Every structure is written in C-alpha cells, then in structure tokens.
Structure 1
Amino acid sequence: MTQTLSSAVHSELIIKKSRFIGCVQPVADRAQAQAVVAQLWQAHPTATHVCWALLAGGQSAAVDDGEPSGTAGRPMLEVLRRQDLEGVLATVVRYYGGIQLGAGGLVRAYTDSVAQALLGAEKVPLTRLREVSCAVPYPQEGLVRRELDLAQARLREVAHSDVVTFTFDMDETHWPALEARLNDATHGRVTWTKP
C-alpha cells in the first residue's frame, strides 16, 4: 500500500569530515519541492550541495546538484521507491569535509541519510480521493446524506434547485460500492454528473 509521511523528519551523518543533513517530508508537487530546496539554500548558504529526490503526484525528480552523476539524487529516489512512498521529498544538504568519498561512498552517504531520516518518520496510508457530483429528487435527499455519511464522504456543496445536487469527495476505493447502493436505493433516480 502506498504511503506518505505525516511530517518532516531529519537526520545528520558525519562521514570522513563531511556533514550530511537529511530530511524527508510530505509535499504536494514539484513546485512545492523546489520551494523547499530554495529555502534550504537560503538556510545553508555555505553548503557544498543540496541534493534532492521527489515522488509526488506522478512527478519524480533526482537532482545531484554538482555531485558526480547518479551518486546522490538517484540513490535517494530509490530509497523512496523501495519504501513505496508518494508525495514525499527527500533532501540532503552536504558540507564537504575535504576528503573524497568516491562514487560508492557518495551513494552510501546519500542513501543512508535518507534511510536514517525515514527510520524516525511516521508513515500514513495515502488515500486517493475522487470528486463526485450527483443530483436526486427532493424526497431522496435524506437517503443520499445518510449514505454519504456511512461512506465517510466529505460533502463539499449542496445546491437546491429543481433537484438536489451534491458534490463530494471520497476514498476512490469505496466509490463503486456507494454508486451501486445509491443507484439501487433511489431506484435509478440518481443522476451522476461527475462520476
């Protein structure tokens, strides 16, 4: 099951005098991730590198930020993938300590920085929401409201005109069952406008 993180978690490693400050945190998309990276550069202006990896909403990124190609961003991204995470940004700020780590050493350092942060992270199941709209005759309004409550749908809007129109969000895995129950309970009087 795909998961995300409840909040940001940090780690810090010192490897051959280089300081690696890792962080994993929930983000919505690439724009938010880039804003976080920009803030890290402001907070750590003397850092040598700010490498990052992103898995969010079908967007992924693996940025080495001047480290040898494939030694930072890609290994960090693989840690996120192996943990089956979504909507997560991993960053590692590196202060160079004067000793070369080599490609293998860099891969281990960046992988370990992310893995250490994830050890302290609280993972939560990721629920994909589906937005749905339907219209029913007035006598069916109470029935629809009860079914939405039972399905734990989040009611966004109710409009009253010739019919009652409901707009709501719900866990997409529960959608087929709710659709079938409402079609059956209203004897086909429900009109789906955004299934």
Structure 2
Amino acid sequence: MPFTIANTVTFEEEIKKSRFQAIATVVENEQQVKDFLIETKDPSTTHQCWAWKIGHHVRFNDDGEPSGTAGRPILASIEGNDLTNVIVLVNRWYGGIKLGTGGLVRAYGGCAGQCLLLAEKIELIEKKQIQLSCLFNEWAIIQYELMQQHIEYQESYTENGVFIEARLQLHQIEPLRQKLQDVTRGREHLHVED
C-alpha cells in the first residue's frame, strides 16, 4: 500500500556548526518537482540536495557534495518510510567543520528522516485522468453526478456541447462510465488515459 504525506513539513538541525533544513512536500509529476525546486532556490545555502519519488520514478541530486553522500540517503529516507509522490529538499549552510562522507550520509539522511517523521502519512489513492463529452442538454445530469461523487473537473464548451476532464479514483470510473452511457444512450464513451 503506497503512502504519501498530507502536507508540507520542515525540520531543522545543527550538526557541527553546519545548519541543515529539510523540506518535504507532495508532488504528482515532474513539472511540480521543477516548480518546487525553483520556488525553494536559496542562494544563501552552500548545498541544496534533494531526492524525489513518484511511483517507480526516482531522482536525486548531491549538489556538489561527494557522490552518494546526500541525494541517495535522502531517497533512502523516502523509501524507508514507504512513501511516494514526495520530494525532500535538504539545504545545508556550511559551518566550517568537515563532516566526512559518513557524517554527510548521516546528516542528510537523518535530517530527511526526521522531517518525514513529522509528516502525517496518508494512503495514496490512485487516480486516472479521464475525458468525456456530452450535449448541452445532458450536461446538468453529468455535472450532478460529478458533484455527488466529489469529483473535481474542468469543463470547456464546444459548438457541439461540453468537454470534461477530471481525475477519478479507480472505483469511480465504472459508475461514471455507466451513467454517461445511460444519459447519452451509448453515443459517448469515457476515455481513460494510461
């Protein structure tokens, strides 16, 4: 059962005069990762090391620290907590005392781990992107169904009717597919992106 975190959390500690600050947040795609790294760019830091995991995709960055001493231990903290759809950034402000490779691994991995311990873990519910269309006179019924199931959607109006995009939990797909078939008398189909 995969988990993610409920909200953004931070943790700070000082290790041999170096200040470490971990920030963990939820990400659902690589664009959100890029946006987060741009938003948290801090030129006052000595190093900004990070790791993220989205499903089976992982990336990490040592940002100038010796190879394998920062990004990989951060990733190990994410995976050790059975988390996905998470990025953890650890900022370091160098305090003048070298920590050595073992010290760096413990500092980065430990700071990330402490940060993740503060986070509320929630079960990750898999969602799929869907698309559907309907005529204007059918839209009220479809819209009511979406609202009843608390499905967030975006609609756009075309000359022939309404085009809808939404993210559905897996158990919501079949009932909506059936409703669309009933309302449009089999004319329209629900398209699920893989």
Taking the aligned partners of 2:38 and 2:159, their CA distance within structure 1 comes to 44
Aligned partner of 1:19 in structure 2 is: 19
Taking the aligned partners of 2:47 and 2:139, their CA distance within structure 1 comes to 58
Taking the aligned partners of 1:86 and 1:29, their CA distance within structure 2 comes to 14
Aligned partner of 1:109 in structure 2 is: 107
- Are 1:79 and 2:77 counterparts? yes
CA offsets 1:4-34 (integer angstroms, 9 cap, x no match): 4444322122223332222212345332133
CA offsets 1:116-144 (integer angstroms, 9 cap, x no match): 11122234444535232132584x55543
Aligned partner of 2:180 in structure 1 is: 182
Label 1:156 to 1:97 Cα distance change in 2 as closer, same or farther (>3 A): closer
2:105 partner SS: helix
1:63 to partner: Cα distance: 1.0
Aligned partner of 2:67 in structure 1 is: 69
2:17–2:96 Cα contact (<8 Å) kept:
yes
1:192 partner SS: coil
Label 1:12 to 1:160 Cα distance change in 2 as closer, same or farther (>3 A): closer
1:70 to partner: Cα distance: 0.6
Taking the aligned partners of 1:167 and 1:194, their CA distance within structure 2 comes to 10
When the two structures are superposed, what TM-score results if normalisation uses the length of structure 1? 0.75
User: Which of 142, 149, 152 lines up with 2:150 in the alignment?
Assistant: 152
RMSD of aligned alpha carbons: 3.1
When the two structures are superposed, what TM-score results if normalisation uses the length of structure 2? 0.75
1:135–1:193 Cα contact (<8 Å) kept:
no
Letter in 2 for 1:150: Q
Aligned partner of 1:30 in structure 2 is: 33
Label 1:158 to 1:93 Cα distance change in 2 as closer, same or farther (>3 A): closer
| Runs (5+) with no aligned partner, structure 1 | none
| Runs (5+) with no aligned partner, structure 2 | none
Label 1:143 to 1:93 Cα distance change in 2 as closer, same or farther (>3 A): closer
Percent of aligned pairs sharing the same letter:
33
Letter in 2 for 1:51: C
- Are 1:89 and 2:92 counterparts? no
CA offsets 1:87-146 (integer angstroms, 9 cap, x no match): 4321222233444433222211111101111122234444535232132584x5554333
- Structure number with greater Rg is 1
Taking the aligned partners of 1:141 and 1:48, their CA distance within structure 2 comes to 55
Aligned partner of 1:170 in structure 2 is: 167
